[in-house]
Structure formats: structure tokens, C-alpha cells
């Protein structure tokens, strides 16, 4: 399957997972959702690897550790935010990761004492944050402040996780192994959070079905996304990944009867445009035939 098709399907499945998480958040805590999501993923991957006769042993445990720390942290924050925000808003904040990457580049240039900072990169960051203001202002109520901040922070950690993901994929780690260790870390983090929140709650048939769907959609989408980043171009993947915002908006309208106004749409357009511009600038700066930019 080609990288563009993989990213298209992954974006759709991630949006579907968001629907399941939002519904499940009415019955379960963040820790429980992360725990069961990771458990289903880890068991599914382990079974597939065993069936194929492969191995889960890795030569780069440190890289898996940091990818898991940042990725699971982003997942926990996003799960919390999605429970209190409209689905499209929560997904948009999480997709700020490309803008945060541009922010990291600018911060690195400042720390290194660079005299030049690419003004285009700075413009993408400013446009991204302007988009955040437009997205949050019409949709966020006072009691949703912490959910909004959690959504923003999930984007920061997601940016770090994507950098680690690219490194792991290019080091030759298969996508099933990457997803397995990420899922295993989710089990551990979710268990700690669940215990801190009062332990595990009893299941209903509907609740168990939502948790199962969350885990299945997550593991399939992550395998597709990881594979796409391994074989595809970064800009192409990022462009298609932003379709997750559209899918999230569509599901929000159809399932939760959520409304989105013109101001929020303008903010989403700004964030998507800024993210794609930042990705394009990073890709150009790292091509072999182009010297790296100062930033």
C-alpha cells in the first residue's frame, strides 16, 4: 500500500478513535482509557509478531524509551482534552505539532547565538498561534481552560514523538516493534494514572466495546502511520495527516451534534497552512542539495 493511502486511512482511523475516546470518557478515566488502549495494542502486536516468527528484541532501547515517554505523554494529554472539548478542536490542537517543531528550530537558533532566523519560519509560528487563538476563542468556555491547555501541550509532546518516530524508522526498526513498545508504555502509564484516580471501574457491554474499538483503531492506524513515515515523503505525509481535522469535524457534527463557526474554521485553516509551510521549510532545509538554514 502506498504512503499517501496509508496516511489517508490512518487519519480516518485516528478520527474514529477520537470518537470512541470521547464516548468512553463519560464512563472511564484517562488512565483507564490509555491502559486498555495500550493493552489491546501490545497484545495484538505481540500475537502478530509471534505468528510471523519475528522478534520484539530491539538494539535501540533508549530510542524506544524516549519515543514512548513523549508519545504516551501526548496521548494522555490529548485523551484528557478530547473529553472536555469539541472533537475538531481537540484534534486541531494536537495537530499543532508541526508548528511546535518550527518553534524548536527558532529556539535552537536563538540558543546557539545565530544572527539569522528564517523569517518564513517565524511567520509560520505566528500564524499557527493566531490560528490557535481563533480556534479556542469561540469554542472554549471558562471550565474548558485546562482541557485546552492540555490539548496544546499534547501537540508539543507529539512534535517530539514524531522526531523520535522518524529516527526509529530510519534506523531500521520495523513498525510493529515501534508500536509494540509504545503500546507497552501506554499500559504502564495508564495503570499508574488509573490507580491514582481510584482504580479500575466495572465494565458495561457498551463501555467494553468502546475500549476495544479504541485499541483496535489505534494499533491499525499507528501501524499505517509508522509505515507511511518510513517509506513516504514528510511533506506528503503531513499534508494528508491534516485530513484528520476534517474527519474529526465531520464526526463531531454527525455523532455529537457539534457546531463550528466561521471564526473557528479560519483558525483551523491558519493552523493547517502554518503546519504545512513549516513542514515544507524543514524538508527543504534538510535535502542533500540544499545547505541547512540558519534556523
Average pLDDT over residues 126-146: 69
Planar angle of CA 102, 108, 112, nearest 5 degrees? 150
pTM for this predicted structure: 0.80
Is residue 108's pLDDT more than 70?
no
Q: Kindly calculate the radius of gyration of the chain based on its CA atoms and give it in whole angstroms.
A: 19
Residue of 196, 166, 195, 194 whose CA lies nearest to 178: 166
- pLDDT tens-digit profile of 197-221? 888 899 999 999 999 999 999 889 8
Q: Give the total residue count for the chain.
A: 295
Q: How many CB atoms lie within 10 A of CB 65?
A: 13
pLDDT at residue 195, rounded to an integer? 93
Is residue 166's pLDDT more than 80?
no
Q: How many CB atoms lie within 10 A of CB 184?
A: 20
**Cα separation of 223 and 197, whole Å?**
30
DSSP per-residue codes, 210-244: HHHHHHHHHHHHHHHHHHHHHHS-HHHHHHHHTHH
Is residue 136's pLDDT more than 80?
no
Is residue 189's pLDDT more than 90?
yes
Positive or negative: CA dihedral 220, 224, 229, 230: positive
Q: Domain residues of the chain, as ranges?
A: 3-285
Is residue 115's pLDDT more than 80?
no
Residue showing cell 490560528: 131
Residue 199, SS3 per DSSP? coil
| Confidence class for position 295, pLDDT limits 50, 70, 90 | very low
Give the ranges where the chain is alpha helix by DSSP (H). 3-24, 30-52, 61-84, 87-94, 97-111, 119-139, 145-170, 175-196, 205-231, 234-241, 243-256, 262-285
Q: How many CB atoms lie within 10 A of CB 104?
A: 15
Average pLDDT over residues 125-136: 73
pLDDT at residue 140, rounded to an integer? 55
Is residue 1's pLDDT more than 70?
yes
Residue of 208, 205, 230, 154 whose CA lies nearest to 33: 208
**Cα separation of 20 and 26, whole Å?**
10
Report which of residues 247 and 288 the model is more confident about: 247
Is residue 289's pLDDT more than 60?
no
Residue of 156, 128, 21, 16 whose CA lies nearest to 85: 21
**Cα separation of 10 and 240, whole Å?**
9
- pLDDT tens-digit profile of 25-49? 999 999 999 999 999 989 999 998 8
Report which of residues 47 and 277 the model is more confident about: 47
Amino acid at each position: 500500500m502506498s504512503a499517501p493511502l496509508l496516511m489517508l486511512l490512518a487519519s480516518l482511523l485516528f478520527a474514529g478513535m477520537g470518537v470512541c475516546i470521547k464516548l468512553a470518557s463519560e464512563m472511564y478515566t484517562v488512565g483507564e482509557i490509555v491502559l486498555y488502549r495500550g493493552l489491546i495494542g501490545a497484545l495484538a502486536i505481540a500475537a502478530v509478531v509471534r505468528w510471523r516468527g519475528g522478534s520484539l528484541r530491539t538494539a535501540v532501547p533508549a530510542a524506544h524509551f524516549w519515543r514512548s515517554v513523549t508519545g504516551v505523554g501526548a496521548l494522555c494529554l490529548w485523551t484528557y482534552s478530547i473529553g472536555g472539548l469539541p472533537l475538531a478542536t481537540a484534534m486541531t490542537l494536537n495537530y499543532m505539532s508541526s508548528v511546535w517543531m518550527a518553534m524548536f528550530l527558532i529556539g535552537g537558533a536563538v540558543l546557539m547565538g545565530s544572527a539569522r532566523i528564517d523569517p518564513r519560519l517565524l511567520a509560520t509560528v505566528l500564524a499557527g498561534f493566531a490560528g490557535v487563538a481563533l480556534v479556542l476563542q469561540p469554542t472554549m468556555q471558562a471550565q474548558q481552560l485546562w482541557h485546552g491547555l492540555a490539548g496544546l501541550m499534547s501537540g508539543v509532546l507529539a512534535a517530539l514523538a514524531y522526531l523520535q518516530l522518524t529516527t526509529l524508522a530510519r534506523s531500521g526498526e520495523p513498525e510493529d516493534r515501534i508500536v509494540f513498545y509504545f503500546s507497552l508504555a501506554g499500559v504502564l502509564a495508564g495503570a499508574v494514572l488509573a490507580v491514582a484516580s481510584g482504580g479500575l471501574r466495572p465494565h458495561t457491554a457498551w463501555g467494553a466495546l468502546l475500549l476495544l474499538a479504541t485499541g483496535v483503531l489505534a494499533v491499525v492506524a499507528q501501524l499505517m502511520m509508522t509505515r507511511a513515515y518510513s517509506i513516504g515523503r514528510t511533506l506528503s505525509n503531513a499534508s494528508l495527516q491534516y485530513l484528520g481535522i476534517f474527519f474529526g469535524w465531520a464526526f463531531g457534527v454527525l455523532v455529537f451534534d457539534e457546531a463550528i463557526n466561521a471564526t473557528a474554521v479560519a483558525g483551523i485553516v491558519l493552523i493547517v497552512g502554518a503546519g504545512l509551510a513549516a513542514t515544507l521549510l524543514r524538508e527543504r532545509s534538510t535535502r542533500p542539495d540544499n545547505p541547512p538554514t540558519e534556523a
